Amino acid sequence: MKKPEAEKENPVDAHSHKKLGDILVEAGVIAPADLEKALNAQRNTPKKIGQILMDMGIVDDIQIARALSAQLNIPYLHLPEMQIDPKVISQVSAEIAETYLLLPTKEENDELVVTMANPLEFYALDDLRFMTQKRIKIAVSPQSDVLAAIDKYYPKKGLHFDESPQSEAQIEVIKTTESHEKELDKGALTSIAEDPPVVRFANSILADAVKLKASDIHIEPRQASVIIRYRIDGIMREILKTDKLIHSALVSRIKVFSSMDISIRRKPQDGRAQVKYKGIAYDLRVSSFPTSYGEKITIRILNPESAKMSFENLGLQGKHYQDLEASIHSPQGLILVTGPTGSGKSTTLYACLNRLNSPEVNIITVEDPVEYKVDGINQGQINPKAGITFPAALRSILRQDPDIVMVGEIRDGETAGIACQAAQTGHLVLSTLHTNDTPSAITRLLDLGVDAFVVADSVVACIGQRLVRRICDKCKTTDELSAQFLEKIPGEGNGKEKIQYYKGEGCEACRYSGYVGRVGIYEILRVTPSVQSLIKKDVSAAIIKAQAMKEGFQPFFMDGVHKARQGLTTIGEVLRVASPESLDQETPAPAEARETAETTTVTTGPAFDPTSHVTAVGHPTVLVVDDNEIELEMMSHLLKTQNYRIIKASNGAEALKSVYQAMPDLIVTDYMMPEMDGLTLIKKLKAEIATRMIPVIMLTANEDLKSEVEVLSVGADDYMTKPVNYERFIARVNRLLQRRIESSKR
């Protein structure tokens, strides 16, 4: 087949065998010694030689462009002085422009003039000819000018991370109150917040978080990027790192639908909203906080199912269940739920109220804020600006003839005193307190100034709780713990029948973490006559605990061990939230026990670190997926020669597990594979924000156009047919990785 005339005359094609470094040496721009230094530096980085020379200060992009223009005999264009027709721009996609650093400049007689930073990217010429079906004429311009022109003529980066119509369509903001903006900023800020890409991106984040059952969303600005993290099952997970350009628009959007003032950026604010996902309404509590790099946004997602939690489903067992049930059915007294933030205290209180709720009793609550609405219960919210504080509200509701009172939190001595007095005058009072364990709840009330005899007469029970992750039922398997560690657990190293422990191996259902959901571990201190007699002004929590232990008190750790034996959680999870030292405060566990505990925490579940989206520059991670062992090894070896760290998988299911565990920088996958083919793998990756931005190259033996269109339509970043040209394959891997690394630095 005869080549087009333009291709034969193209001077770039005639010099395509030359390398940029050699051309710069021939042009006298750099010395051979400088080139040698740059080539040595290139061995530890995928950067191109031109970029390395510029980084080393040996040459600048203008010198490179002029040298290429002279040596290749092609025009040198000054892009800042040009106005390019949008119709010309539309002939080349933004992806091609960014990948090869080029810009379509003008069209002459069915010939497209394309300005490039590096005209030696001869693969770009093939792609351009195929895409435009036109003859291509090459010009050159400095890299900085090309980058500036791409930013000018193509949509801004950052606002396209919302392409998740499947998830976004399922989320609906159903409560949007217009915020009170200042007239100066109202027009611009509201316009940004209502921009469709911003709306879709915000909705996509909310839908993704709800789908993953996250309790919180954190939007954290950094110097040149924005990090989005979710708290899932109590663990923070980095989901997405995106361009800083989107931060202002995203924050404005969240402020608008949560009724916050979008013009105030230097003071903390609180807001609330409501969204509907798959027919279920979720309340959102939104908080903004100014930081050095902009406003940090935290969104607490309140699942309405938590308010419907039954008493039986709390996870209380045996004596703990009996003690709490007996306590809440006391005619009067104070019941305290203790634990750190996020330990499920509110859920426990609501479960108790659900158990007590009936037409025969009057239940009134004072909360900050009202987290869940429950039919049959009178719920009030404090408002310090209106003078409605916890003490003031508590005094008022005691005049409402309540049988049961729930106080959201005891924060000060005044609230503590009123709650204890109410508990002594015929009311059952439930509240929360922040302490490390239940004996400390008694001493905290004393520290707040409540008289010892009042505490002794009013407190019925203290419930301490923590939340541990529950083992995934679909991948549960036995866990062989070391004999050394088993000896540290009371009752385990005494030669009796061996007790089995469990862990989750990791599967798609649990995102290969080994855990789904959480379960509570508890300790309950009932204030018996013997404990009452100990409550004095200077009593220590250790003395109260020692007496309670004699009466059958079980600390967190032992309840956690019981649940681990039942296969509900792992020993590692129990150790994460409750130390064996809690068994005996007088005699701390030996150092070797603590060391073993730390080791167990790491090894009892699959390794899962979703925070490492981009590895250190110079050692990116590539996941290679192919069921043909020979091709898998050949591809892996080829990539290792480029100093990439390689992860191998023989099918799509195994690859998905590797993605969740290692978060590679790039994926090279075959099409046809057992268990899960490459197409299905890409669909699953592109359906989640956490994995959507990992570039994927699809390899297949199918040369038909239909297969290529299908693969690219589901989100593949590149497509190559087998047998691949290895030089072209490495070039495409390098440019995708380089783009990802540069994106991570922005």
Residues 374-398 pLDDT 10s: 888 999 888 887 778 888 888 888 8
Report how far apart, in Å, the C-alpha atoms of 371 and of each of 282, 302, 365, 375, 404 are: 11, 7, 11, 13, 18
Q: What angle do CA 439, 233, 594 make, to 5 degrees?
A: 55
CATH fold match for the domains 307-469+518-572 and 621-745: yes
Question: Mean pLDDT throughout 536-557?
Answer: 90
Question: Mean pLDDT throughout 624-649?
Answer: 89
Euclidean distance between CA atoms 451 and 493, whole angstroms: 45
Given a cut of 70, whether residue 237 has pLDDT beyond it is: yes
pLDDT digits (tens, 9 = 90+) for 581-613: 655 544 333 333 343 344 333 333 333 333 333
How far from each other are the two terminal CA atoms of the chain, in whole angstroms?
Answer: 46
Classify residue 317 by burial, with Cβ atoms within 10 Å: 0-12, 13-18, 19+: middle
pLDDT of 700: 85
Instruction: Output DSSP code: residue 408.
Output: S
Query: Residue 243 has which token pair?
Result: 């361009």
pLDDT digits (tens, 9 = 90+) for 472-504: 999 999 887 644 565 656 655 555 567 788 999
CATH architecture of 196-302: 2-Layer Sandwich (3.30)
Residues 111, 9: contact at Cβ < 8 Å? no
Q: How confident is the model at residue 623 (pLDDT cuts 50, 70, 90)?
A: very high
Backbone angles phi, psi at 152, to 5 degrees: -75, -40
pLDDT digits (tens, 9 = 90+) for 361-370: 999 999 888 8
Q: How confident is the model at residue 155 (pLDDT cuts 50, 70, 90)?
A: low
Question: Mean pLDDT throughout 199-216?
Answer: 90
pLDDT of 154: 79
Domain layout of the chain by residue ranges = 18-59, 77-156, 196-302, 307-469+518-572, 621-745
pLDDT of 180: 42
**For 17-26, 41-50, 340-349, 690-699, which range has the lowest pLDDT when averaged over its residues?**
41-50
Q: Could you identify the residue written with the tokens 């083919």?
A: 677
pLDDT digits (tens, 9 = 90+) for 325-365: 999 999 999 999 999 888 888 889 989 999 999 999 999 99
**When comparing pLDDT for 9 and 677, which is higher?**
677
Residues with Cβ within 8 Å of residue 294, at least 6 apart in sequence:
221, 247, 248, 251, 265
Comparing CA positions, the residue from 436, 427, 389, 422 lying closest to residue 408 is 389
Residues 309, 350: contact at Cβ < 8 Å? yes
pLDDT digits (tens, 9 = 90+) for 423-461: 998 899 999 998 889 999 999 999 999 999 999 999 999
Q: What is the DSSP string of 114-167?
A: EEES-TT-HHHHHHHHHHH-SEEEEEE--HHHHHHHHHHHSPPTTTTTT--HHH
Q: What is the rounded average pLDDT for all residues in the chain?
A: 81
Given a cut of 80, whether residue 179 has pLDDT beyond it is: no
**When comparing pLDDT for 533 and 487, which is higher?**
533
Residues 99, 739: contact at Cβ < 8 Å? yes
Given a cut of 50, whether residue 152 has pLDDT beyond it is: yes
Given a cut of 70, whether residue 16 has pLDDT beyond it is: no
Question: Mean pLDDT throughout 186-193?
Answer: 60
Q: How confident is the model at residue 182 (pLDDT cuts 50, 70, 90)?
A: very low
CATH classification number, 621-745, choose in 3.40.50.2300, 3.90.380.10, 2.40.50.140, 3.30.420.40: 3.40.50.2300
Residues with Cβ within 8 Å of residue 140, at least 6 apart in sequence:
65, 68, 69, 72, 74, 75, 76, 77, 115, 116, 117, 119
pLDDT digits (tens, 9 = 90+) for 118-129: 888 767 777 788
Given a cut of 70, whether residue 183 has pLDDT beyond it is: no
pLDDT of 618: 45
Query: Residue 645 has which token pair?
Result: 């760290």
Q: How confident is the model at residue 689 (pLDDT cuts 50, 70, 90)?
A: confident
Q: How confident is the model at residue 170 (pLDDT cuts 50, 70, 90)?
A: low
DSSP three-state, residue 299: strand
Instruction: Output DSSP code: residue 675.
Output: S
pLDDT of 469: 94
CATH fold for the domain made of 77-156? GMP Synthetase; Chain A, domain 3 (3.30.300)
Residues with Cβ within 8 Å of residue 616, at least 6 apart in sequence:
none
**When comparing pLDDT for 367 and 615, which is higher?**
367
CATH fold for the domain made of 307-469+518-572? Rossmann fold (3.40.50)
pLDDT of 192: 67
pLDDT of 218: 97
pLDDT of 476: 93
pLDDT of 591: 39
pLDDT digits (tens, 9 = 90+) for 36-65: 888 887 776 666 788 788 877 788 888 888
**When comparing pLDDT for 731 and 615, which is higher?**
731
